């Protein structure tokens, strides 16, 4: 048995009322502690300075790398630059998510200890990417930083209606989605400039471990309140509200990334399928009609997402896109 497949002790399964969600979170705290211990044992901390040293005293090699980076990165296609911009904007939304987890999961408990640990690890992602795009001179940084500011100022308040189950479902999906987006961006970018692929690979590795934490926490929730957990998941799974969706130009950026084959609805469909399999949704035996209905709807989601992806692809027409942070250069698709 692989280490990642090793069983984790979960609280005794018990059927709770779907409204008793605070009690369910408390019942999950032993599992949260186990998941944190597993996570800490498997992670390997890294820091942005490991990739782009910026100390007062640098070796000749480090000075050379920093001096040559803009020229080495010059060949990165604008479509890849848009993907990097979207990935970075997503990472810069960290304050929104720290706040949401604190509000929904409470303080001075196992959830809050995870929140602080997770926030510390996630903070490096935005720092590393910002350092890279600045030092590689990929953008009009003034225009890009205005987008960052706008995102933080606008806030991010999903319509979860004070439902912590929805937060756990969302984070399970979102961490996996960002892992895929970072990894796919890195594979393409690495053909032109290998340093950014290494940075994105490390970030994707973190996202994979964070996904496992939230995924397995939600699986524990299914053991306690399967009907309530599935009903809540169904409120966020069909159309995931990606971080940054309220930024001016977000839809165009996401469309460039999709048309470039980096990340799109087909990838999200795979994210959903993986979660359904990991959660064992098909094998659940709900004891009430509401649970059976929710199970059927969850199992039907991949096909529904396939149909929606097909419709979007059929409606795709030739178009050009332009962004201020790329000096309004045309990115054309036939």
Determine if the pTM surpasses 0.85. yes
For residue 57, give Cα distances in angstroms to 38, 61, 71, 165: 37, 12, 23, 49
The burial class, CB within 10 Å (0-12 / 13-18 / 19+), for 57 is exposed
Q: Are 214 and 175 in contact (CB under 8 A)?
A: yes
Tens of pLDDT, residues 128-177: 999 999 999 999 999 999 999 999 998 888 888 889 999 999 999 999 99
Q: How far, in whole angstroms, is CA 217 from its chain's centroid?
A: 16
Supply the DSSP symbol for 245: T
Q: How many CB atoms lie within 10 A of CB 113?
A: 15
Q: To which H or E segment does residue 321 belong?
A: strand 319-321
> How many Å apart are CA 272 and CA 289, to the nearest integer?
23
* Residue ranges of the chain whose pLDDT lies below 70: 1-19
Task: Give pLDDT, residue 214.
Answer: 98
Angle subtended at Cα 274 by Cα 272 and Cα 276, rounded to the nearest 5 degrees: 70
Task: Give pLDDT, residue 19.
Answer: 57
């Amino acid at each position: 048995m692989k280490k990642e497949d090793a069983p984790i002790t979960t609280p005794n399964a018990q059927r709770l009322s779907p409204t008793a969600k605070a009690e369910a979170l408390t019942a999950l705290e032993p599992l949260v502690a186990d998941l944190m211990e597993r996570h800490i044992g498997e992670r390997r901390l890294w820091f942005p300075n490991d990739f782009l040293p910026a100390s007062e005293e640098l070796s000749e090699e480090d000075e050379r790398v920093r001096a040559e980076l803009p020229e080495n990165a010059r060949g990165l296609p604008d479509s890849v630059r848009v993907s990097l911009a979207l990935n970075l904007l997503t990472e810069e939304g960290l304050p929104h998510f720290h706040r949401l987890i604190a509000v929904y999961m409470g303080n001075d408990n196992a959830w809050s200890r995870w929140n602080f640990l997770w926030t510390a690890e996630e903070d490096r992602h935005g720092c590393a990417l910002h350092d890279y795009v600045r030092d590689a001179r990929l953008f009009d940084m003034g225009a890009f930083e205005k987008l960052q500011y706008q995102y933080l100022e606008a806030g991010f308040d999903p319509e979860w209606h004070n439902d912590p189950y929805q937060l756990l479902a969302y984070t399970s999906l979102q961490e996996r989605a960002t892992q895929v987006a970072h990894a796919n961006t890195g594979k393409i970018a690495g053909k032109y400039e290998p340093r950014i692929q290494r940075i994105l690979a490390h970030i994707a590795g973190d996202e994979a471990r964070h996904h496992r934490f939230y995924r397995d926490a939600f699986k524990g929730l299914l053991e306690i309140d399967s009907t309530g957990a599935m009903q809540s998941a169904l409120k966020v799974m069909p159309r995931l509200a990606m971080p940054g969706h309220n930024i001016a130009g977000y839809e165009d950026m996401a469309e460039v990334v999709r048309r470039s084959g980096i990340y799109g609805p087909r990838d999200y469909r795979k994210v959903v399928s993986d979660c359904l399999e990991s959660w064992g949704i098909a094998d659940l035996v709900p004891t009430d009609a509401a649970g059976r209905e929710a199970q059927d709807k969850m199992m039907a989601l991949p096909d529904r997402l396939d149909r929606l992806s097909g419709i979007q692809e059929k409606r795709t027409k030739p178009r050009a896109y332009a962004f201020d942070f790329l000096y309004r250069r045309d990115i054309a698709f036939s």
